[in-house]
Each structure stands twice: as structure tokens, then as C-alpha cells.
Amino acid sequence: MNKTFVEKSFNRTFLGMVAVFGATSILFTGCNQKKDKKESETVISKKPPVAKQVLKIDDDEIISDKRVIYLTFDDGPNRGTENLLKILHKRNVSATAFLVGEHANGSISQKQDLESLRKDRLIELSNHSHTHAHNRYTDFYRNPALVVHDFDTAKDSLKLKNKIARTPGRNIWRLNNITCTDIKSSKEAADKLKLAGYKVIGWDLEWKPTNRMQLKDNHQVMLKRVDSIFFNDLEKTSRHLVFLTHDQYLTDADSVNELDLFIEKLQKTNRFVFRKISEYPKINEVLN
């Protein structure tokens, strides 16, 4: 792409008194969502605006040019959890850990990591199931009642304070304003989770692993992907990006360094803020 997100934002500000960009739209397959009105959706005016445009973030009328990133990490407590906490404290950023119930008692070190997560002010704990479907996802989602039971077991055993959940092996969303199912055979199970009161959160960008379970690509590649999502308006909710990777990818020095650089570079642009997933727009609404 010729422009970075930062350059685009600067140019919009400079040209704001002359013209405002026309409406843009995104086509999704299998996703039904009601996006908040975007900065780019205002009507072009031939006359200078009378008053400065007020942007909306999270339904509050505030003047801001920040984009919000939600760092989320799945499958903990696990190998790499300790390194994750070190990075978050080095950069002083918040994140959400989607925990697996069985991992909490997998070993002495995992039990210790769980206690560290519980006590940490920068981390919010949410539900990633009890069994992680035993990694047999097709069989798991064939039984919606079992799926709900599995998440209930994790919630109770981990003593979770919220009903925010992420489905194992699936990028599924179930909020009042976003419904998205990546693999249609999982739809009934996802609907049952919502009926049981779970706010199901997927992701907009994933940092995937190599076959050696280390972070694939480098931080420059991932920064360009963040730019691309915001530039092309591909996030599920305008100006809000849910980022996913996994604790167990943070066991080698290179992966730890790449994640640290990724967060550092985002901070240095002064264009982003980091929040926990419970602050995602409309997530705290009572489900219909």
C-alpha cells in the first residue's frame, strides 16, 4: 500500500476543512453486523463545515483520533504466559487472556501462572472453554449442549467474573450488533452460547505460528496488516481492532522480541490505545 495508516490520518486532518471523504462499505460473507457510523461516512459538503466534526468511539461523543487495539492471548495458562506478562509490564499495556480450564491444572507451573494472571492489574481473564474441544472441533460443535456445558465448567472452575468467551478453533462473534460464524456447522452451538448469556468474541487480526510454534512473520509485517485493516475499514467495529495470538508462541527469544517491538512501534505512533476486551463497544449490553 502506498500510504500508511498514520499518513492517511494526517492527510484527513489537514484536508478536513475542504472536503470529507464519501461513504465506503465492506462486503462480508456470513456476517451480519451493525457498525457504528464511521468517520468516512459523512456527506461531502461544498461549503466549509460550521462546526468541527465530532467522532464517536464506544458511543461516547469525544474528540479523538485514536484507534483502539484489544490484545488477546488464547490457551493460557501455558508455556509463554510468564513472558507475556513481562512484555505487558515493560510496555504498560492492558490485554485479555482467554483461558482453558484444563490448562489451569496441567502442571505446577501452569497453576502458578494462573495465580500470576489473577493478580495482575494489566490482565483480564475470559473463557476459552474447559477442554479446548480436545482439539476435535468438528465433533465438539456437533453437540451444542455439550459446548455450553464445557464453557460453564470453565467459568466455574476458573472462577471467572464475566461471561465473555472465545470459541476454540473458530472465529465466531455473538453480540447484539455482530453475528458472524466462520464455519457454518458451528452456528447452532454459537447460538446456544449466546442464549446461555455468553458474549462471544472472535478477532480481526491473528499473528499465526510457524510449524515450530513460534511467531510467524516479523513485527513490520504485522504493523502493515494493522495499517491495512484500518485503512480499508475491515475491522468488525469501526476504529476497534481485536488482535489474537497465543501464549505458547512466546517461548523463544525471537518471538518475545517481535511481540515487544510490535507493541512498542504501535505506541510510538501515538495513534493507538490498548484496552481490555470488556471495554469493546456494546459488549456489556444485555443480550437479546
Residues 152 and 221 in one domain: yes
Q: Is 90 inside a domain boundary? A: yes
Residues 30 and 76 both lie in one domain: no
For residue 119, the surrounding DSSP H or E stretch is helix 108-119
pLDDT digits (tens, 9 = 90+) for 155-194: 999 999 999 999 999 999 999 999 999 999 999 999 999 9
Report the C-alpha gap between 64 and 44 in whole angstroms. Answer: 21
pLDDT given for residue 65 in this prediction = 82
pLDDT at 66 over 60: yes
Residues 247 and 130 in one domain: yes
Quick one: average pLDDT of 56-64? 43
16 and 150 share one domain:
no
Same domain (yes/no): 52, 28: yes
Same domain, 145 and 163: yes
Decide: 226 and 241 in contact? Cβ < 8 Å.
yes
Distance (Å, whole) CA 5 – CA 226: 8
* Averaged pLDDT for residues 81-103: 98
45 — pLDDT class (breaks 50, 70, 90): very low
| Same-domain status, 23 and 138 | no
Q: Which domain holds residue 43?
A: 5-61
State whether 139 and 31 are in the same domain: no
Dist CA 83 CA 69 (whole Å): 20
Which three-class secondary structure state does DSSP give residue 84?
helix
**What was the pLDDT predicted at 25?**
40
Rg (CA), the chain: 20
Same domain, 169 and 73: yes
Q: Is residue 231 part of a domain?
A: yes
Q: Could you tell me if 51 and 72 lie in one domain?
A: no
Measure the CA–CA gap between 142 and 127, rounded to whole angstroms.
20
Per-residue pLDDT, 6? 45
Cα separation, 278 vs 163, whole angstroms: 10
pLDDT digits (tens, 9 = 90+) for 95-139: 999 999 999 989 999 999 999 999 999 999 999 999 999 999 999
Write down the H helix ranges in the chain. Answer: 5-14, 81-91, 108-119, 137-141, 144-158, 187-195, 219-231, 253-269
pLDDT band at residue 230 using 50, 70 and 90 as cut-offs = very high
Cis omega before residue 281 (within 30°)? Answer: no
More confident residue, 245 or 59: 245
- At residue 41, φ and ψ (nearest 5 deg) are -100, 10
Residues 179 and 53 in one domain: no
* Segment 240-250, tens digit of pLDDT: 999 999 999 99
- Give this prediction's pTM: 0.82
Do 238 and 178 form a contact (C-beta atoms < 8 A)? no
